[in-house]
Amino acid sequence: MFNRILFNLVQVATVLIFAPLVAGVLGRLEENVQSKRGPSIFQPYRDIWKLFHKDEVVSDQSSWIFRFTPYLVFVTPVFVTLLIPVLTGYPLFFAFMGDMLGGGFVLSLGGFFATLAAVDTANPYGPVGASRTRMVGFLAEPVFMIVFFTVSFVAGSTIPYIVQQRWVTPPANFFAPSHVLLMVAFFMLILAECGRLPVDNPGGHFELAMIDESKSLEYSGRGMALVKWGGHMKVFVLLCIFLNVLVAPWGLAREQTLAAVLLAIPLVLLKLLACVLVLVVIESSLAKLRLFRIAEFLGAAFVTSVAAMITRLFAF
C-alpha cells in the first residue's frame, strides 16, 4: 500500500524531471541532422528556470481563465501520470481511478482551457491558433475513439495496465495486423496532438503559420514556464502511453521493490530515446502540411485505425 503510493510518486517525479530532457534531446538531434551544433540538451531546463525568475505581465483585460490556465496545463499531465504505466508493469495505487479514455479526457481538459485562454486575450494570433487547434482536435477525435474501441475490444478493458498485459506482451499478438495498424494510427495521432511535423512546425516563429505555439504567445514569466513545462510533460506522457502500453512494454519494473522501479527509469528513457530518433527522422524528412491538408493526414490516420478494427473484428 505505502509502497504503491511511493512508486506512484516516483513516476510523477520521473515525468516532472525528465520531460524537459526529452524535449532538449529532440531539439538538439534535429539541429544536428541539419549540420548545426544546436542548443544543449539541458536548454529546456534553463529556459524554464529563467522564466520562473522573470516578472509576469498579465493583461488587465483578461479574465480568471487566463490566470488559471497555466496551472491546469501543468497539472493535467501529472494526473494522467497517475493512471498510466510509466515505470512499473503492475497497477499502482491510482491505476483503477480512470482508464485510457479518462486520461484522454483529462489531457483534453488542459487543451480546452489553453484554447479558452488564447481567445481570452485580445491578441489577434491567439484565436487563430485556437481555432486551428480545435480543427486538428476534432479531426483527431474519431481516430482516438476508434483506437480506444479496438483496444478495449481486443483486451476486454481500457485500463492501460490490463491492455499492456493481455494484448501486447504475448509476441504472437505483437505482429497481428490490427496491432501494427493501430500503432501506426496512434503514432500519427501523437504527431498531430503534440503539434509536431508534418501537422505543425514546433520550431517555427512565424505567428501566422503557428498552430500550437500561438496559444501561449501572451504568457510570460511564471505562466509561460508552467505552460512550457506542461507541454513537455504532455509529450512525455503521450509517448509513455504509446511505448509502454501499445508498443514495447519491456523494461518495466516487475518486482515491487524500490530498486526495480529506479532501475526502470534508465530503461524507459532508453526506449524514449529510440522513439525520439524516429521522431527526428520524421521531422527532418517531412515538410509541414498546408492547413487544409491536415484533414488528409488525419483522414489517413482514421482509415488506418478503422482498418485495424476491421482486420480484428472480422478475424476468422
Partner 1 sequence: MPDANAVQWLQSLNALTGGLFLLVTFGLVSLRQIHGCLRLFVAQSILLATSAFLLGALYHTWHLTVVGVVDLVTKVVITPWVLRRLLHDEVQTRREITQVLNIPTALLLALALAITAYLLASPLVALGGGAAIGVNLPIGLAGLLIGGLTAAVRREAVPLFLGLLAMENSSFFAGIGVAPEMPLIAEVSIAFDVLILVFVVGLLTRAMHEHIGTTEVGALTALTEEQAP
CA dihedral sign, ordered 181, 109, 42, 284: positive
Does 184 help bind partner 1 (rule: CB under 8 A)? yes
Does 295 help bind partner 1 (rule: CB under 8 A)? yes
**Which residue in the set 1, 172, 259, 287 belongs to the binding site for partner 1 (CB under 8 A)?**
172
- Gap between the Cα atoms of 169 and 25, Å rounded: 29
Does 80 help bind partner 1 (rule: CB under 8 A)? no
Minimum CB separation from partner 1 for residue 313, in Å? 8
Does 176 help bind partner 1 (rule: CB under 8 A)? yes
Dihedral of the alpha carbons of 252, 151, 167, 85, in degrees to the nearest 10: 10
Q: Which of 61, 46, 158 is nearest to 101 (CA)?
A: 158
- Find the angle CA(234)-CA(263)-CA(11) to the nearest 5 degrees: 30
Does 316 help bind partner 1 (rule: CB under 8 A)? yes
Task: Say how many residues touch partner 1, by CB under 8 A.
Answer: 24
Minimum CB separation from partner 1 for residue 182, in Å? 10
**Of the two residues 1 and 172, which places its CB atom closer to partner 1 in the complex?**
172
Span of 6-14, 27-35, 36-44, 178-186 interacting with partner 1 by CB under 8 A: 178-186
Q: Yes or no: say if 26 and 197 are a contact pair by the CB < 8 Å rule.
A: no
For cell 510523477, the residue is 12
Kindly state the cell numbers that stand for 157.
Answer: 478493458
Burial 11-31 (b: 16+ CB within 10 A, else e): bbebbbebbbbbbbbbbbbbe
Does 282 help bind partner 1 (rule: CB under 8 A)? no
Span of 51-59, 97-105, 110-118, 307-315 interacting with partner 1 by CB under 8 A: 307-315
Give contact residues for partner 1 (rule: CB under 8 A). Answer: 172, 175-178, 180-181, 184, 295-296, 299-300, 302-304, 306-308, 310-311, 313-316
